[in-house]
Amino acid sequence: MAKFYLIGKISGELMKRMQHEPTADRFASTKKVTEAAGLKLISYEWVRGRFDVISCVEGEYEQAVALKIAFKNSGLMDDLMVHEVIDYNKAFSNAASAAKTVVKPAE
């Protein structure tokens, strides 16, 4: 199973709804949707800055994209990015191997 971070900006509609009902349990509703997409919710945090929420989930890439689609189509999120956690040692090892075969023009 892969791990993903979903980083999102809530919509004006959700902001209004939350102001109207500030004690609403967004964790519970997010967990329900996450599990319906086939993912396991590891963490869900509200943050300061350019984006509003960060979630960590485990599952398959297609499931993470399904979650993004569901949230975006609900109108509750203006932006939602999916970032897969990678093994950077493996990535740079593969890059080192590939770099040995690069041929520059006129060399």
39-67 pLDDT tens trace: 999 999 999 999 999 999 999 999 999 99
Any domain includes 85: yes
Any domain includes 106: no
Mean pLDDT of 9-26: 93
- Residue 63's nearest CA partner among 44, 90, 82, 78 is 82
For residue 104, the model assigns a pLDDT of: 87
Any domain includes 57: yes
Any domain includes 105: no
Q: Say which residue, 106 or 75, is predicted with more confidence.
A: 75
Look at the chain and report how many structural domains it folds into: 1
Alpha-carbon span 18 to 35, nearest angstrom: 22
Any domain includes 77: yes
Mean pLDDT of 22-27: 91
Domain encompassing residue 94: 2-99
Q: Residue 9 phi/psi, 5° resolution?
A: -115, 125
Query: Which residues partner with 81 through β-bridges?
Result: 7
Domain containing residue 73: CATH number: 3.30.70.1060
Asked if pLDDT for residue 107 goes beyond 80, the answer is no
Q: Answer whether 76's CB lies under 8 Å from 6's CB.
A: no
DSSP 3-state of 75 = coil
